[in-house]
Structure 1
Amino acid sequence: MSDIPTPEEFEMASQAMRQKARCLDDVREGVKRRFGSPDPIREFFILSQRDVDFRAYIFFGRGEDLELAGKTGLQGKIVDFVFSELERLGRGSRDQIRMAFEFDSHENVEANFEGDYSLRLRS
C-alpha cells in the first residue's frame, strides 16, 4: 500500500481547500474598500488555518497608525466588519467562526521581513 495519494485523493483535497477558502477574497476586498482610505490600512489578508477557521492579518502603514487604531476603536470596527462580511457571505455567524486577528504595520514588515508580506505571514 502506497502512502502517495491517488489523483482522486489530490482532487478531493483540492476541492476541500477551495471550499474552505471560498469568499475570502470578497472579505479581503470589502475590508480594503471600507478601511483602506482614508484610514491607514496598508494591507489585509484572511487565510484559512488549521488551529482556527480563519486568521486575519491587518497591516497599518506605520507603528503609530497601529497604536492609534487600537486607542480609537478602529481595530474593533475592523474585527466587527470581518465577522459581518463572513456572515453575509454564508460562512457562519460570529459565534460559530473560530477566528484569530493579527494587527501589525507595514513599517514592521519593511524592517523585519525584508518588505515581504509572505515572510511575515509565515512567522
Structure 2
Amino acid sequence: MSDSSKDFVWKAFLRQTLYAEDDLQRVPSGNKMEIVNAANRRWHVTLYIKVHMDDLPDGQWAMLVIHWKKPTFNLTKDQRMEVLTELERIGLTKILTQETLAHMLNTTNSTIQKSLSDLKKADLVGSPS
C-alpha cells in the first residue's frame, strides 16, 4: 500500500472511529462514566459505557455504545499518538483500561503504557507554569 493510500485509509479510520466525540460532548462533565464491557472482535471493539446522569432520578443511568473499528494495518507511533491524543481530549483515556486501549489500537499493553507516559510528559512540557 502506498503512503498516500495509507494516509487516506488513516483519515477514514479516524472519521469512522472518533465520531463518538459528539455523543460524549452531550454528556455533562460532572456525570460518572464507567465501562460496562468492551466486546473485542477481530476488526472492532464495541464499548458499552454506563453514564450516571445527574438529571435522572437516583439509580437511573444512560447507556452509550461506541463502535470502534480497529485499524486494518499497523499504526505508526505518530498515528498511535494522534489517536491517544484525541482519546485524551475527549476523556476516554481516563476511563478505559490500558488493556482495552491496546485492543483498540492493536498493540501491546506496554506500548500503550509508554505512549500514555510520553503523552503526559509532552502535556507537562507544553502547559504554561
Range of TM-score over shorter length: 0.3 to 0.5
TM-score by length of 2: 0.33
Rg larger in 1 or in 2?
A: 1
TM-score by length of 1: 0.34
More contact order relative to length (CA 8 Å, sep ≥ 6): 1
